[in-house]
Amino acid sequence: MVCVCNATYCDTLDPVVLPALGTYVKYESSKAGKRLERSEGSFQRSLHAPGTRCGRQRLAGSCLRPTVTPASLPADLVLTVDTTQRYQKVKGFGGSVTDAAAMNILSLPETAQDHLLRSYFSEEGLEYNLVRLPMASCDFSLHAYTYDDVPFDYELTHFSLRDEDTKLKIPLLHRALAMSKQPLSLYASPWTSPTWMKTSESFVGKGTLKGQAGDKYHKTWANYFVRFLDEYAKYNLTFWAVTAENEPSAGLINNYPFQCLGFTAEQQRDFIAWDLGPALANSSHRHIQLIILDDNRLHLPHWAKVVLEDEKAARYVHGIGIHWYLDFIGPIQDTVVPTHELFPDYFILATEACIGAHFWERDVILGCWDRGNQYSHSILTNLNHFVAGWTDWNLALDLEGGPNWVKNYVDSPVIVDTSEGIFYKQPMFYHMGHFSKFIPEGSQRVGLVASKESKKVDLEYTAFLRPDGAVVVVVLNR
């Protein structure tokens, strides 16, 4: 089931209004067709709800239970919030503005473009606050390019943004910012350096930076980050963070099919310690956050240990980025959890996820409810294991799952049909909203315990205390 939007119509949500004391608001989406459907109920006072222990709620004294058990929950299951147990704080939720996403959005009639952007960024939509941006091209571009493809330009004299930035991505970011009630946190990731800096002398395939950390290639590549931030600043766009490299392990793979730049954990450590860290610290962007890894969590905790146990590198780093593509062979308990325990002062952020990337998956399946479930399952698993937020991949793709210059087509929560001037909001879109709209930046995960393991139904759930004092509980019944 999809929701169809065009130039004259698109479904909207009302801004969230906190319920009065003693009442709650419920938002429900279902395979049968509910899409963030709002209802209200009131708590009954019961001095000992089965299996519960009163945390300090806004109403002191007796425990509060919903008088209505949501139909999706077995009546004998009670979830109890315990706000005395505090875990990680949330950075946020969002998606990525690739060249492909920008082209798809801008291919629509202007009012439909506005509907699409408002659906993601405004109070009548999902209220995304994170936006990831590739630095120059990625596979979701029409061709491979960087910002300085003039050979051996070590001074970056020829560095310049491209039409994809100035005509597509930047105008869209300004429109998104204008319709968002909170500031957007932008973060950028490079896929490849200019070919003249690489051992492969190619955008694709196995290749690393020439030379070693501290030399002219590494210094120039570090300065390229600063120049990117400088150029975007001229368009009044400032970034919250950069990642040191998108999927650094990709560039270590023979015949890798699209833009990449290989780093081992040791090479990333040294590049940050000698080049990228100092370049950012000595620039006008010294407050920017630096995120390492930005690759599958399978590399944890090893990658974090290598980089963060080195004092010289660690002082420049703020967080660790993870992608979801190999989650099925890297359980979160063996990767993310030990990393958090070793390095609790560094945030862990899910920086990329999409469905359709594996060869056994169909690219686009319009209206697929299970793909929404996969998103919610991943987000819940991450949030329940110290991850601070979750970033989707392309904000919008076409019916094929592109454009993508190497035909690496995938699915997206929003699919654009340019020929008809319409776009489809898929189940993945609404699943994202159950998190992004209700768990704002600065919320803190709190305890949530079930009265018993329900045998009948496999529920997943999480709870957050928002900065305004309200509690949010998200429950997934797959």
Residues catalogued as catalytic: 247, 352
Compute the distance between CA of residue 276 and CA of residue 213 in angstroms, rounded to an integer.
10
438 closest CA partner among 123, 159, 207, 137: 123
Q: How far is CA 77 from CA 51, 54, 460, 471, 472, in A?
A: 9, 16, 13, 19, 18
CB 390 within 8 A of CB 378: yes
**φ, ψ at 474 (rounded to 5°):** -115, 125
Q: How far is CA 62 from CA 77, 196, 343, 453, 464, in A?
A: 19, 69, 39, 25, 21
Q: Quick one: DSSP state of residue 413?
A: S
* Cβ neighbours around 286 below 10 Å, total: 8
**φ, ψ at 102 (rounded to 5°):** -65, -45
DSSP string, 260-287: --B--HHHHHHHIIIIIHHHHHTSTTTT
CB 349 within 8 A of CB 339: no
Burial 109-120 (b: 16+ CB within 10 A, else e): eeebbbbbbbbb
Compute the distance between CA of residue 303 and CA of residue 252 in angstroms, rounded to an integer.
15
Residue 283 burial class via C-beta count within 10 angstroms: exposed 0-12, middle 13-18, buried 19 and up: middle
Show the DSSP H helices in 384-468 as ranges. Answer: 427-436
Q: At CA 306, angle to CA 304 and CA 311, rounded to 5?
A: 95
**φ, ψ at 432 (rounded to 5°):** -55, -40
292: left (phi over 0), alpha (psi -120 to 50) or beta: beta
Instruction: Give the amino acid at 111.
Output: T
475 closest CA partner among 464, 456, 454, 459: 459
Show the DSSP H helices in 310-419 as ranges. Answer: 311-314, 332-342, 369-383
Compute the distance between CA of residue 291 and CA of residue 268 in angstroms, rounded to an integer.
11
